[in-house]
């Protein structure tokens, strides 16, 4: 096909004005998709790490609670000196540990029981003890729990 002045009509003229435009648009779309994929992977990794941290925090909480239960079960309540249980593993093969201290509350340690109205009679007092238990797990998770309790025993008049 020719033009009125005798030159050949060609589509090359319109193609020469847009060299590589499709390539540039394609690369920009590929870049946008890559950024989205990387941010999605980063968010998934962060979510996984946060879930793991919460799990270890919960394990430390449970280890501290186990320390209180072990202290009460051990029943070593001494009004003269604190009872200390050094750090021990909660379960074999785990890194979860617990330790507890049982102390006699000096400030309000002995409470006389009211007279009459119950079958204990006279000569009994309530001894106030405090248990502090610390549970630890991996990634630095730590939980500290305190529990107070009274034990009725002989004393007073």
Domain span including residue 70: 17-154
Q: What percent of the chain has pLDDT over 90?
A: 22
* Domain contains 130: yes
* Domain contains 6: no
Look at the block and give the residue holding tokens 């204990």: 120
Can you give the pLDDT at residue 73? 87
Q: Mean of the per-residue pLDDT values for the chain? A: 81
* Domain contains 2: no
Nearest partner of 122 among 134, 113, 133, judged by Cα: 113
Q: Average pLDDT in the 79-99 region?
A: 78
* Domain contains 76: yes
Number of domains into which the chain is organized:
1
* Domain contains 10: no
Q: How confident is the model at residue 36 (pLDDT cuts 50, 70, 90)?
A: very high
* Domain contains 45: yes
Distances (CA, A) of 8 to 1, 106, 134, 139, 153: 6, 110, 91, 76, 117
* Domain contains 64: yes
Q: Average pLDDT in the 34-52 region?
A: 95
* Domain contains 7: no
Can you give the pLDDT at residue 152? 82
């Amino acid at each position: 096909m020719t033009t009125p002045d005798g030159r050949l009509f060609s589509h090359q003229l319109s193609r020469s004005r847009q060299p590589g435009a499709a390539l540039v648009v394609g690369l920009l779309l590929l870049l946008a998709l890559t950024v989205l994929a990387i941010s999605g992977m980063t968010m998934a990794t962060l979510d996984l790490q946060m879930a793991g941290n919460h799990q270890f925090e919960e394990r430390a909480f449970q280890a501290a609670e186990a320390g209180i239960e072990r202290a009460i079960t051990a029943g070593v309540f001494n009004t003269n000196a604190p009872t200390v249980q050094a750090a021990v593993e909660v379960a074999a093969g785990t890194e979860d540990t617990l330790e507890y201290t049982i102390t006699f509350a000096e400030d309000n340690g002995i409470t006389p029981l009211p007279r009459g109205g119950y079958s204990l009679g006279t000569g009994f007092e309530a001894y106030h003890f405090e248990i502090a238990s610390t549970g630890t797990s991996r990634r630095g998770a730590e939980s500290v729990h305190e529990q107070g309790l009274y034990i009725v025993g002989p004393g007073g008049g």
